[in-house]
Amino acid sequence: NAGVMQNPRHLVRRRGQEARLRCSPMKGHSHVYWYRQLPEEGLKFMVYLQKENIIDESGMPKERFSAEFPKEGPSILRIQQVVRGDSAAYFCASDPDGIGNTIYFGEGSWLTVV
């Protein structure tokens, strides 16, 4: 059973470009979380999704950021018009049943904005 897969692992974007980060949850998991980690800081919750639904996006910046988890395919975190402050590690986690006893994290996508 493959773990949570994130890609790309490393992404470099120029200011103003778009970044798309993908997350394939563990097989059979229908709940996905996205977290952001700035250098030398803890993880900050961004958004919680179930298949085709955003359940909680209270941690998502109001502008430029969006997330989806379609019926088929991976969850996507999209950052439009990136700025230097978006440089961070973005972690995805999946949950088998939404109860949340254990969630499983991917290895992260490191975004660098130059």
Binding site for another protein (CB under 8 A): 4, 31, 33, 35, 41-45, 48, 55-56, 91, 93, 95, 98-108
Q: How far is the CB of 81 from another protein (least distance, A)?
A: 27
Residue whose CB is less far from another protein, 19 or 35 = 35
Helix (H, G, I), strand (E, B) or coil at 6: strand
Query: CA nearest 70: which of 54, 92, 91?
Result: 54
C-alpha gyration radius of the chain: 13
- β-pairing, 10-13 vs 109-113, is parallel
Residue whose CB is less far from another protein, 17 or 87 = 87
Residue whose CB is less far from another protein, 17 or 57 = 57
